[in-house]
Amino acid sequence: MITLADARRIIAAAEKKAEEIKQPMNIAVVDAGANLIAHVRMDDAWIGSIDIAINKAFTSRAFDIDTKTLATLSQPDDDFFGIQDSNHGRVMIFAGGIPIKKGRKVVGAIGVSGGKGKQDQAVAEAGAAAY
């Protein structure tokens, strides 16, 4: 179970990384039910990334998968092409969403949006590592 205190620690680690790479981000954490625990938009981060960060976190827990991996699986002609049309627009198929695990068990996820794929991914990894 991820508490609000956990989510804040995860977000703080992600923010620190975002500051290091000088890219303001939206950062969101969801629980085991894929429901939002906390979200922050750093100053000057994209408005359009609010929805994306929250839904990358949703997606990662909804399918227990990195959205970076899902990105390759959902390209045209691949197995999951079309998954993005499900769940009322909540499935994000590009890097920045990572499941948060307790041992092998997925207990939630982090979603990051505000830069290029590699940047979002790096910030999400820093956040997930802080659980």
> Which spans of this chain sit near a second copy (rule: CB under 8 A)?
3-4, 7-8, 31-43, 46-52, 55, 58-59, 61-64, 71, 74-77, 79-89, 91-95, 116-117
Enumerate residues 6+ apart whose C-beta is below 8 A from 40.
11, 15, 26, 27
Q: With respect to a second copy, which residue has the nearer C-beta, 81 or 102?
A: 81
As a whole number of Å, the end-to-end CA separation of the chain is 11
Spatial distance between the Cα atoms of 34 and 23, rounded to a whole number of angstroms: 26
Spatial distance between the Cα atoms of 61 and 59, rounded to a whole number of angstroms: 5
Q: How far is the CB of 66 from a second copy (least distance, A)?
A: 14
Q: With respect to a second copy, which residue has the nearer C-beta, 52 or 98?
A: 52
Q: With respect to a second copy, which residue has the nearer C-beta, 13 or 34?
A: 34
Q: How far is the CB of 129 from a second copy (least distance, A)?
A: 21
Q: With respect to a second copy, which residue has the nearer C-beta, 65 or 128?
A: 65
**Distance of CA 77 to CAs 31, 63, 70, 80, Å?**
32, 20, 13, 8
Q: How far is the CB of 78 from a second copy (least distance, A)?
A: 9
Q: With respect to a second copy, which residue has the nearer C-beta, 20 or 82?
A: 82
| Helix and strand numbers, DSSP H then E, in the chain | 4, 4
Q: How far is the CB of 79 from a second copy (least distance, A)?
A: 4
Spatial distance between the Cα atoms of 23 and 15, rounded to a whole number of angstroms: 9
